[in-house]
Structure 1
Amino acid sequence: MAWSLQTAPELSDLQFEQWNKLLEARTGVQVSAHQRGFLQIQLSRRMRELGIKHYTQYYGQVSAGMQGMVEWSILVDRLVVKETSFFRHRESIEFVRRFLQNRINNQSLDDSFEVWSLGCATGEEPYSLSMVINDCFELAGLEPYHGITATDISQPALQHAREGVYVKRKLEPVAPDERARYFKIVDEERETYRVIDKLRDRVCFSHGNVMKVSEMPLVKMDIIFCQNVLIYFRRWRRREILNELAARLKPGGILMIGLGEVVDWTHPKLQRVADERVQAYVHI
């Protein structure tokens, strides 16, 4: 029987631990026991494509040299979680709108308004942020001067994000007026839409590993958006990452994380916002 038609071999306990340690060491993501099947399926699919029969052989390939790093970049795209949507947590996005509107009303904006979206995947989150930020500037009659840095570990996801093209189904969470103002149809038959250039030009998509925040340029941000990212890390690593992010906030800036993602973290320079709808911290 051809290898491509054979049933995927079972991951032994030792092999599962070996692969899990490699994934965590390189990405911070920890695969739980109930996700073992997912890991096995993704590994075996890639092994079939390469004609490799044994997990140990493939592990050796992705662990060694430059060629291994090239192969790892292909594999990690299949292993990291990229589930996202426009306005995935609308309350958090609307909090950013209110925060910026208050800055504009109080005339307390400093130069440009800088935002960082971590784990941006295929771009829906940073584009959602760009929509509400642009709304605020237009409502105030100001020339939009904001920039969004969007980072992710997956190169294919980033390429998709840069293109800014989405099928109609992906736009369901977008309000009709938002869709009319911020998207242009590119293919009526396939019902695909592209984010308008005015927004795309404001977002810089860059490769970045949240495990290596300390190695990224120390640029101060007004908003750091890190939602549905930390849940895949160990608790001690979550705290380390949040401490690094706190150092990148401007005075008065906001760090936004997912509700319940971290429950035991405090920082001497940050205070949690008194709003039960979001989990946000302000730099005091």
Structure 2
Amino acid sequence: MSDSILKISERDFERLRGFIYQACGINLSKQKKVLVESRLQKRLVAHAMSSFSTYCDYVMNSMEGQAEIVHLIDSVATNKTDFFREPGHFEFLEREALPSFSRLRMPRPFKVWSSACSTGEEPYTLAMVLEEFYNSNPSFEYRIVASDISTKVLEKAVKGVYDERTITGIPMSLRKRYLLRSKNQENPTIRIAPGLRSKVAFKRINLTDSVLEVEPDFDAVFCRNVLIYFDRQTQEQVVRKLLSKLRLGGYLFIGHSESIYHMQLPVKQLRPTVFQRV
């Protein structure tokens, strides 16, 4: 196989579009053809394949290709995130959701699920917020589950190592308490402190699976900036499954570019992108 860029035909692109939609609900537009073509080059090289047609047949029509589906989804999934992204959500947690939970005096930890956690910035932000609340409320306990469809980003999330340039959104007081700096001056990185990393349990979950392998009765579920990749029908199916894992009175957080208006859901809106299960 040569080092030149292999081209994907319209037919094979449509085959992949349909297969990816069935596998994980991601609705790739026709404008994503070049992106798919470029991102899958390494997968063709890995299997010494000389055409996208061969790759499609391998993934879709062979038993051996079943294991490749995870790598296919890893390659095309978009994973853009930041620490304290959409900070109003974390302020709502700190000022309203957590004090409300404490007043209930429930005999269990506050449970939150970061359902599309990408490389880990969201669940580690949640861990900082919850740990700060614990420091002021010693009887408070919490648990964080973080999931994503991509094994590649989950590996990075578990390590908790980030480029130093990514921490600009983290307040200085929290940086001092929860981040460790590398000694590499040429390529400075930070790592989430072990105590905070231990508070987050990571697992792979495909939100479009018929059954979500995660416990019920979460107090808060974050599903931000992932619904935009689904069509309307899939969005509603995913949100209904998320709500089934949320306790009555629990909170659902979605991204500011997303909407669940006109869906018949058991929620009331508290903020533009904050909903409570009723």
**TM-score bin (small chain):** over 0.9
Match of 1:8 among 6, 9, 15: 6
Which stretch shows the higher mean deviation, 218-227 or 63-72?
A: 63-72
Match of 2:226 among 225, 229, 239: 229
Distance 1:132 1:201, change over 3 A: same
The answer (yes or no) to whether the contact 2:212–2:241 under 8 Å persists in 1 is no
Count of residue pairs brought into register by the alignment: 277
Distance 1:105 1:208, change over 3 A: closer
Distance 1:185 1:260, change over 3 A: closer
* TM-aligned CA deviation for residue 253 of structure 1: 0.5
Task: Kindly indicate whether residue 149 of structure 2 is the aligned counterpart of residue 150 of structure 1.
Answer: no
Structure 1 CA distance for aligned equivalents of residues 112 and 83 of structure 2: 17
* TM-aligned CA deviation for residue 268 of structure 1: 5.1
Structure 2 CA distance for aligned equivalents of residues 83 and 111 of structure 1: 33
Structure 1 CA distance for aligned equivalents of residues 232 and 263 of structure 2: 13
Task: Kindly indicate whether residue 165 of structure 2 is the aligned counterpart of residue 166 of structure 1.
Answer: no
Query: For 1:85-96, what aligned pairs fall within 5 Å after superposition?
Result: 85-96=82-93
Q: Which residue of 1 aligns with 2:43?
A: 46
Structure-2-length-normalised TM-score: 0.92
Structure 2 CA distance for aligned equivalents of residues 218 and 58 of structure 1: 36
For structure 2, the 5+ residue unaligned runs are none
* TM-aligned CA deviation for residue 89 of structure 1: 1.1
For structure 1, the 5+ residue unaligned runs are none
Amino acid across the alignment from 2:128: M
Match of 1:198 among 191, 195, 198: 195
Structure 1 CA distance for aligned equivalents of residues 12 and 151 of structure 2: 27
Amino acid across the alignment from 1:3: S
Task: Kindly indicate whether residue 182 of structure 2 is the aligned counterpart of residue 186 of structure 1.
Answer: yes
Distance 1:43 1:242, change over 3 A: same
Q: Which residue of 2 aligns with 1:79?
A: 76
Structure 2 CA distance for aligned equivalents of residues 211 and 231 of structure 1: 14
The answer (yes or no) to whether the contact 1:182–1:196 under 8 Å persists in 2 is yes
Q: Which residue of 2 aligns with 1:248?
A: 245
1:248-284 C-alpha deviation (Å, 9 max, x unpaired) = 11121001111241243444531111x34xx111122
Distance 1:193 1:7, change over 3 A: closer
The answer (yes or no) to whether the contact 1:3–1:51 under 8 Å persists in 2 is no
After the TM superposition, which segments of 4 or more aligned residues of structure 1 sit over 6 Å from their partners?
none
Q: Which residue of 1 aligns with 2:276?
A: 282
The answer (yes or no) to whether the contact 2:160–2:192 under 8 Å persists in 1 is yes
Amino acid across the alignment from 2:267: L
Structure 2 CA distance for aligned equivalents of residues 208 and 7 of structure 1: 32
- Identical pairs, percent: 27
